Structure 1
Amino acid sequence: MADKQHLYLVDGSAYIFRAYHRLPPLTNPEGTPVGAVYGYTTMLWKLADDLHKADGPTHLAVILDKSSHSFRNDLYDQYKANRPDPPEDLVPQFPLIRDATRAFSLPVIEEPDVEADDMIASYARAATRRGWDVTIVSSDKDLMQLIGQCADGELEDGIETGGCIDMLDTMKSQRIGRDEVIEKFGVPPEQLGDVLALMGDSVDNIPGIFGVGPKTASKLIADHGTLTAALDSAADMKKSKLKERLIEHRADAELSRVLVTLKEDCPLPVALDDMKLDEVPTEPLAAFLETHGFTSLLRRLDAGSGSPDRPNNLNPAKAENKGTEAAAAGNSQPLPDMPAVDRSAYEAVTTMERLEHWILRAHEARLVAVDTETSALDAMRADLVGISLALGPNDACYIPLGHGGSDMFSDRPEQIDRDRALAALKPLLESDAVLKVLHNAKYDLTVLARHDIAVAPIDDTMIISFALDAGRSLDGIGGGHGMDELASRHLDHACLTFKEVCGTGKKAIPFGEVPIDRATEYAAEDADVTLRLHALLKPRLAIEGGTRVYERVDRSLVPVVAQMERHGIKVDRARLAKLSEEFAAETTRLEGEIHTLAGQEFTVGSPKQLGDILFDKLGHKGGRKGKSGQYSTDQTVLERLSGDGVEIADKVLEWRQLAKLKSTYTDALQAAINPDTGRVHTSYSLVGAQTGRLSSTDPNLQNIPIRTAIGRQIREAFVPEDGNVLLAADYSQIELRLAAHMAGVDALKEAFEQGEDIHNRTAREMFGEVDRDTRGRAKTINFAILYGISRWGLAGRLQVEPDEAQAMIDTYFQRFPGIQRYIMETLERVRERGYSETLFGRKTWFPRIRSKNQAERQGSERAAINAPIQGTSADIIKRAMVRMMPALETEGLAYDGERGVRMLLQVHDELVFELPKDMVDAAKPVIERVMAEAALPSVDLTVPLGVEIGTGPSWDAAH
């Protein structure tokens, strides 16, 4: 049988609006707006190039809307009546976008009085009848009616040749098939039109049946099979609002069914065979790029690159040379052209009429900033007090939902019923057509998810700031990414603080008791400032090269981490309580031994008293006093004394570890158990570590000792629900593998490819033999070198003289010269540019890399050596996390609210899951494959990523 053809049909309108919102207001040399043109060009180029390189895709066309009128307007004159006119600066870009498509030698199809969706449906059906497979590049729910349809083709050599249809959502890098439609809408694609007819569409002004939402519509069709049967069933229903609506608005539903039905028999102006996909041509693409000043793309074309991802020499409107300034200064960007913050302009929305007004405006704007106000910082326990929206500078509102005194006799101010308001907001917050901008979106996503609202798509200004400026600030010390700090740094604006609004100490009041006018100033300002930050920071991603890591790693991770936090993990309270008792008894015993060694009682936890005992009373050498006048007794000091054989130092170190584990884990974990879920819900920070690693707080589950007996005892207390097991999947020596790849060390790459113990290989190369001692030293050296350790640091770890340690370092570099070359080249680049970069483009800034202070400079150098490796490792596990649940869903293994695989924890290079025992065999290969292939296709590593998986009745047992 001949090779099967595969046609990709691109929903061009979706690409255009996505590109318009993605990039800043750029202009070409003639002053014509081209921001959307540039974004569209890069997106289409990448898609065409990716498909050309992939196995299977053979044909591609872009489908656009020719005009706003179609046969549906003749059927219903209010069809799409609420659609706003396109933005003024987008209109002149439409013909240029058509030119861009043709410059790729790709057909662009648009027909008068026929919508793009109908052309897509007609081409899809025509192609499948010829035996072609079809992929629709879109996320439009109307087009999902086509998914899974397979034509009856002719038999060739006894094999059915009919083609099938699926969908590709490039924003989420997700394939959408029949199962995904059922998951989203509760019915298969062939019944989706009936569901859409019942629920209507406010954006297209399809009436549907008033008051019937997606869940009700899906249930009606799932129960009755067809729209007609669902409408007929109303006669036998008990008296209810639903019954009345189904009977009263039957005609609206039947009209809506016609309006949502895709026309599949449109004339086809371009033959299917003329859509053949070839390589991106040099001409006329070069001429198009040159005409519009897309010089960075032109250079990539000259270099033979097929996937540009960021502009360089464009002319951003109102900010000449902005790209150069951004690359050089970053935080010292010029202030955006916006009016000063005016809190008096904000509106308190207390009626449904005004709320619906704001919702309609947000739909029209296609972009809205969102923020929630709650009763507490814990997103899993906090009550929702209100929501704020912003559509432009000073164009913001606050919707109070839970204001009123805690006293049951207190008057509640006028506000909308919370359930009613959330029902109205839900379609907006979940609409694929409206970008929601949030700051620290993970928190708001968790709060709203508890009210059955899945906010998407999103941009997160905190994450954007981190992608741009991790480690960098105006004062060169490094800055945080909180909204108040960013507002001060970028907007020269001081936000109202929570303390200013709610007070402090005994006079502090909950936010729900703040008067609504004052609450509006505070809450609406948060949304306003978030939108302003987005206007300033988002364009910098494209100009400074941050788009790749933000779009491919960080943005998609936010909802994944939010869901992981909501899942939480179960801990055995009784086991923790027993450990606390045991630790308390052991610390008491140690205190007695310490007092005996000291010759007197004192407070072991007091650094001052301990220092006086160690250095004044007992007379040990090396005591140093700080500015406070007391001796230092930190970990380093005690370890040095321990190395000198000072027994009391050993006992204090042991006491400190037990006391810390007791307070931080065995006691704190019991208090952290959520009374509603019975589980512990840690909070992950996506901006807590400069290299991009996630950090865990409240409680911190990432610092539990791994290799000590005490640490294992604590991990034994992390358990699954009855009938389930925990599964731990850990990357094996990922940083050493990445070092072998990034430094091009053939000996190490060969060892990993052959599955050899890497520390044995290093011991053999370094010492000529492998035994317990040489392997242990080799392991220490392998990791220490990657952290830029000095001769003195290595000497301390191996307990040898500095000269001997230096000799080991020299030998290591002789055996693995690529490592030394990598270190030298990395430091040279960082000194030149000011930042390091991971394989995925994540930047970490080192403003002190040229400091005259030796300690600061050397500290920056050590961090700079490791940052590309550790950061790439962090990027890889993040990519695995983003891909994990879609992969498990494809295999029918994902958690559905009652049963399935849940991802619970991320601890450095490890992912922890909970799943039913009978799913382990099916889930293991999926988890291993996703993790092993997480770098692809962006980075093709020259070493395999090893993944070790274990399961058991506790976290410890899973190792």
Structure 2
Amino acid sequence: MASGKAETAMAEKTGRALKKGDHLFLVDGSGYIFRAYHALPPLTRKSDGMPVGAVAGFCNMLYKLIEDTKDEFEPTHLAVIFDAAAKTFRNDIYPEYKANRVEPSEDLRPQFALVRDATRAFGVPCIEKKGYEADDIIATYARLAHEAGARVTIVSSDKDLMQLVNDNVDMLDTMKLKTIAREQVIEKFGVPPEKVVDVQALAGDSTDNVPGVPGIGIKTAAQLIGEYGDLETLLARAGEIKQQKRRENLIEFAEQARISRRLVELDNNVPLEEPLEGMGVREPDPETLIGFFKDMEFNTLTRRVGERFNIDVDAIPAAGKHALITDGALAAPAGEEPKKEKQTVARTARGGTPGAVPKGIDADFNDANYVAVTALADLDEWIARAREQGFLAVDTETDSLFPMQARLVGVSLSLLPGEACYIPLQHGAGGGLDFADAGGQPQIPLKEAIARLKPLLEDPSILKIGQNLKFDMTVLRQHGIQLKGLDDTMLMSYALDAGVHGHGMDELSELHLGHKPISFAEVAGKGKAQITFDQVPVDRATAYAAEDADVTLRLWHILKPRLVAERRVTVYETLERPLVSVLAEMERAGVKVDKAVLARLSGDFSQKMAQYEDEIYELAGERFNIGSPKQLGEILFDKQSLEGGRKTKTGAWSTDADTLEALAAKGHELPQRVLDWRGLSKLKSTYTDALPEYINPETGRIHTCYSLASTSTGRLASTEPNLQNIPVRTEDGRKIRTAFVAEKGNLLISADYSQIELRLLAHIADIEALKKAFAEGLDIHAMTASEMFGVPIEGMESSVRRRAKAINFGIIYGISAFGLANQLGIPRQEAGEYIDRYFKRFPGIRAYMDDTRDFAHKNGYVETIFGRRIHLPAINSKNPAEKSFMERAAINAPIQGSAADIIRRAMIRMPQALADAKLAARMLLQVHDELIFEVPEKEAEKTSKVVSRIMSDAAAPAVALTVPLDVDARAAKNWDEAH
């Protein structure tokens, strides 16, 4: 929609042929529909419940495109292109093309026809062609416009369209406000646009079921095309490829690659009826557009168009052409038969109550609606409104990512979508800059603001909505505020979509709101020039911080109803939300680390490394840089001619751990010594040298940060520093734990679940022999060996037990005969016989694995015994290696995830149990199946009993396990002795 001079210019250009200097915009309408549907909240028409979310999103996106591009790009011609039907000429080439595409949801299908009506209501040509994809139509129009000398912009981010980019044709990703030209195509594919089809032909595409060549991905394909020039040359010279498997696949699947190329190459000669001349940009008829919007009950869009054309929208009636379809015929894309349904369509598939529309969720993100609160009277007004409403979104801004060291710089609040404020508190403090009165915006003194906010934030009856609230909770706790009554959008997303995508705010905003938030770099700079947030001017800080609160509130409106609709409430309410405050207190507590012990260990490791270095030089016959993989490879494989070497893509010898371990297993001393040296080097650099840097100068303790939503199975992750990966299998690794100590007069208690994943396997797979052994307290590995190999438990050789142990744990992770052979140092055939024998002896395990695998393939997810859903989006991948990996993950996830859920349940109950027993113990760390506490010496025994009881009973009453959960709890002065 244009105005002023632009209107006149557009009127002159309408209805004439393209010429040099014109600019054609081709919108990928099908992409717009699905992006709107999946990225925006579920909406239904209030009057009758008809699903209109995709239509609303499409209209907003088209409206914004027209408005945003009229000045910068000055399009002269515009059209929206749609897919006409599922079947195209490509299905004649390859019947399985797009065979694995999921049918559109029942609430989306009726909206396809409505979106086309919306396009026409805007006065924009709506073009489709039976037998062809939208991409082919776009390719044809782009060619015709290019030949006419006009510029072309394809509005899409679809990688399949990138082959069309040239000097006169580019792409525009409106979600990311990013232009895709030749440079961006090269960045994505590793080749220029004209060679993209060759790369895609080799790599294939699981989404469209383009087969490609097995074992070749985008990077490898780009490398091969870069080297050989094009696909046909590569296939003709495939025999020259050095890598055996790659060479064999290129030869065997050459014809499949050629078919794939025909599938991915766009047809730019589609016979089209609609000429370019009819695509001239024109103003829509406001009455037609408003009539359509009124039919859809899009009040915000109706108001916008009325203001744009300065007309009274009340005087314009609804079009009356889009009544709810109740006779069972759902609208379908052109070329498809309408699908019959017995009931009225109402959107419930992606959450929310049919007919429920979150108020104002589609409001524009506008900096003008974000205010800086710099007076107490204004702050009091926001607080009063929050109390009246009963919920608000809250976010903190700090000068550090470490919550225990961060200074509170400001707080942002949001009460309604599109309306938020930022309360600057410590801008300019200590930074050498003074923004206290920047732009006439004084800051509220920190103590006064805290005094006002504290009652609100501590009131459990007022819901505080945040994104990763654990961070904010820890920061606010430093100022005496105990945040109570919370909802966390990150954890809602995690409970709903673990394994599907990430759960960071920016990603969720783009996914669900179609909005890319302001990045930190935009307000604080990058690299060495980056400033801390307290140095950011208040006006820029307000736009950034208030938007975060606004985004969070909108995400809550979208995700909260989905918890109910998708039956994820129990997972969120029992496993996610209650753990936030528990982890926040653990992080605040931290753990004491003895610097002197670390210093001594660092010195010991240095001396031992020096000894290893002397031995390595002697074995090598010369001095070299042990840390250089290149030099080490030359010593091992060029000078000493050891067998078993392999070269990397760069042509250098590989000296990774697997290679060195294989050589050491053959009796070669040099690679073993290098492994020993590397192990000590990592211990020294990662722990003994690095851990002192993490000791908080004020508390004298290390405060690790726990991530609740970083794994798909529910396991917690520890960062800054990672205290969950300290090695315990080697003597030197265990020494690191001796530096973790209790304060004077206290002890550390380590409480560890015994073989919890094997116990859960016995319960889930219903293996009577294993359940009986656990119930009787038998040595499970010895029992397994006895069952498998027919040897008595008493007097069993350790090697026999070790093999059974390796199989027991390997089965959980889907170990192969090859993996077990490597682990035990036995032939692969023998390892395979062990696994076969195991499954014959415990047939329930094979049945569990088969049933779980089948369920995952059918549903795309698996679940823990507590209902946590772990999505496996690539479980049906056409890539055999990826598919196999996901199948192993599917088998393991319910077991590992259930174990993670159990310890979460124990952690959530622990603080109250300790308080009820009047014990002063503090929970400090969680390391997978282990909890570490600091406790007064005189309370150690009683605390151990309470901790063991809570951990053992953690599954109840939700799940009645058929195996006991045993807990080993020990107390000592340091972590190693307690473990």
Name the TM-score, length of structure 2 as normaliser: 0.63
Residue 919 in structure 1 maps to residue 944 in structure 2: no
Deviation at 1:845, TM superposition (A): 1.4
Distance 2:624 2:509 in 1: 48
Distance 2:889 2:652 in 1: 30
Deviation at 1:30, TM superposition (A): 8.5
Task: State which of 425, 442, 447 in structure 1 corresponds to 2:470.
Answer: 442
Instruction: Report 1:736-775 matches (<5 A).
Output: 736-769=758-791, 770=793, 771=796, 772-775=798-801
Residue 856 in structure 1 maps to residue 882 in structure 2: yes
Deviation at 1:411, TM superposition (A): 5.6
C-alpha contact (below 8 Å) 1:752/1:758 kept by paired residues: yes
SS in 2 for 1:324: coil
CA gap 1:631/1:334 in 2 versus in 1, 3 angstroms: farther
Aligned letter for 1:461?
A: T
C-alpha contact (below 8 Å) 1:323/1:544 kept by paired residues: no
Residue 484 in structure 1 maps to residue 506 in structure 2: yes
CA gap 1:871/1:407 in 2 versus in 1, 3 angstroms: closer
Distance 1:359 1:426 in 2: 10
Deviation at 1:675, TM superposition (A): 0.4
Instruction: Report 1:172-211 matches (<5 A).
Output: none
Give the structure 2 partner of residue 941 of structure 1.
961
Give the structure 2 partner of residue 545 of structure 1.
567
Deviation track 1:89-119 (CA, whole Å, cap 9, x = no partner) reads: xxxxxxxxxxxxxxxxxxxxxxxxxxxxxxx
Distance 2:833 2:359 in 1: 54
Instruction: Report 1:688-727 matches (<5 A).
Output: 688-727=710-749
Task: State which of 424, 427, 444 in structure 2 corresponds to 1:400.
Answer: 424
CA gap 1:777/1:362 in 2 versus in 1, 3 angstroms: same
Distance 2:728 2:506 in 1: 37
Deviation at 1:457, TM superposition (A): 1.2
SS in 2 for 1:727: strand
Give the structure 2 partner of residue 324 of structure 1.
349
SS in 1 for 2:689: helix
Deviation at 1:789, TM superposition (A): 1.0
Gaps of 5+ in 1: 1-22, 33-312, 328-332, 473-478, 894-899
Deviation track 1:557-585 (CA, whole Å, cap 9, x = no partner) reads: 01101110100000111010110111122
Instruction: Report 1:429-468 matches (<5 A).
Output: 429-468=457-496
Distance 1:637 1:756 in 2: 38
Deviation track 1:897-946 (CA, whole Å, cap 9, x = no partner) reads: xxx10000000100000010111122122111110110111111011110
CA gap 1:808/1:393 in 2 versus in 1, 3 angstroms: same
C-alpha contact (below 8 Å) 2:43/2:347 kept by paired residues: no
Distance 2:789 2:580 in 1: 46
Task: State which of 361, 374, 383 in structure 1 corresponds to 2:398.
Answer: 374
SS in 2 for 1:559: helix
Give the structure 2 partner of residue 493 of structure 1.
515
Task: State which of 797, 810, 813 in structure 1 corresponds to 2:836.
Answer: 810
Instruction: Report 1:611-760 matches (<5 A).
Output: 611-760=633-782
SS in 1 for 2:978: coil
CA gap 1:782/1:408 in 2 versus in 1, 3 angstroms: closer
Aligned letter for 1:864?
A: A
Give the structure 2 partner of residue 195 of structure 1.
none
Instruction: Report the more deviating stretch, 607-616 or 713-722.
Output: 607-616
Residue 831 in structure 1 maps to residue 857 in structure 2: yes
Deviation at 1:817, TM superposition (A): 1.0
Give the structure 2 partner of residue 159 of structure 1.
none
Deviation track 1:11-57 (CA, whole Å, cap 9, x = no partner) reads: xxxxxxxxxxxx9999999879xxxxxxxxxxxxxxxxxxxxxxxxx
Deviation track 1:447-485 (CA, whole Å, cap 9, x = no partner) reads: 00111111111111111111111111xxxxxx3211111
Give the structure 1 partner of residue 162 of structure 2.
none
Give the structure 2 partner of residue 954 of structure 1.
974
Instruction: Report 1:507-586 matches (<5 A).
Output: 507-586=529-608
CA gap 1:588/1:335 in 2 versus in 1, 3 angstroms: farther
SS in 1 for 2:977: coil
Distance 1:600 1:867 in 2: 48
Task: State which of 914, 926, 931 in structure 2 corresponds to 1:906.
Answer: 926
C-alpha contact (below 8 Å) 2:392/2:464 kept by paired residues: yes
Give the structure 1 partner of residue 918 of structure 2.
892
Task: State which of 447, 463, 480 in structure 2 corresponds to 1:419.
Answer: 447
Deviation at 1:754, TM superposition (A): 0.9
Give the structure 2 partner of residue 163 of structure 1.
none
Give the structure 1 partner of residue 177 of structure 2.
none
C-alpha contact (below 8 Å) 2:350/2:565 kept by paired residues: no
Deviation at 1:828, TM superposition (A): 0.5
SS in 2 for 1:616: helix
Distance 1:835 1:563 in 2: 33
Deviation track 1:260-309 (CA, whole Å, cap 9, x = no partner) reads: xxxxxxxxxxxxxxxxxxxxxxxxxxxxxxxxxxxxxxxxxxxxxxxxxx
Aligned letter for 1:907?
A: V
Deviation at 1:409, TM superposition (A): 7.9
C-alpha contact (below 8 Å) 2:419/2:550 kept by paired residues: yes
SS in 1 for 2:975: coil
Gaps of 5+ in 2: 1-40, 51-340
Instruction: Report the more deviating stretch, 572-581 or 605-614.
Output: 605-614
Distance 1:926 1:436 in 2: 33
Give the structure 1 partner of residue 28 of structure 2.
none
CA gap 1:621/1:344 in 2 versus in 1, 3 angstroms: farther
C-alpha contact (below 8 Å) 2:351/2:564 kept by paired residues: no
Aligned letter for 1:757?
A: D
Deviation at 1:533, TM superposition (A): 1.2
SS in 1 for 2:662: helix
Deviation at 1:595, TM superposition (A): 2.3
Aligned letter for 1:745?
A: I
Instruction: Report 1:279-358 matches (<5 A).
Output: 321-325=346-350, 337-358=361-382
SS in 1 for 2:728: coil
C-alpha contact (below 8 Å) 1:902/1:913 kept by paired residues: yes
Task: State which of 578, 586, 589 in structure 1 corresponds to 2:611.
Answer: 589
Aligned letter for 2:415?
A: L
Deviation track 1:387-435 (CA, whole Å, cap 9, x = no partner) reads: 0011121210000000115366846331001111011111111111111
C-alpha contact (below 8 Å) 2:926/2:932 kept by paired residues: yes
C-alpha contact (below 8 Å) 2:360/2:417 kept by paired residues: no
C-alpha contact (below 8 Å) 2:708/2:714 kept by paired residues: yes
Give the structure 1 partner of residue 268 of structure 2.
none
Deviation track 1:721-777 (CA, whole Å, cap 9, x = no partner) reads: 000000011101100110000000011111111111111110110111142121111
Instruction: Report the more deviating stretch, 815-824 or 869-878.
Output: 815-824
Distance 2:360 2:648 in 1: 46
Aligned letter for 2:747?
A: V
Aligned letter for 1:942?
A: T
Task: State which of 388, 391, 405 in structure 2 corresponds to 1:364.
Answer: 388
Deviation at 1:624, TM superposition (A): 2.3
C-alpha contact (below 8 Å) 2:358/2:557 kept by paired residues: no
Distance 1:684 1:325 in 2: 30
SS in 2 for 1:323: coil
C-alpha contact (below 8 Å) 2:489/2:552 kept by paired residues: yes
CA gap 1:402/1:644 in 2 versus in 1, 3 angstroms: same
Distance 1:756 1:606 in 2: 48
Give the structure 2 partner of residue 110 of structure 1.
none
Distance 1:398 1:696 in 2: 31
RMSD: 2.5
Distance 2:349 2:431 in 1: 58
Distance 1:572 1:517 in 2: 45
Identity of matched residues, %:
53
Paired positions, count: 637
Which aligned segments of 4 or more residues in structure 1 are displaced greater than 6 angstroms?
23-32, 333-336
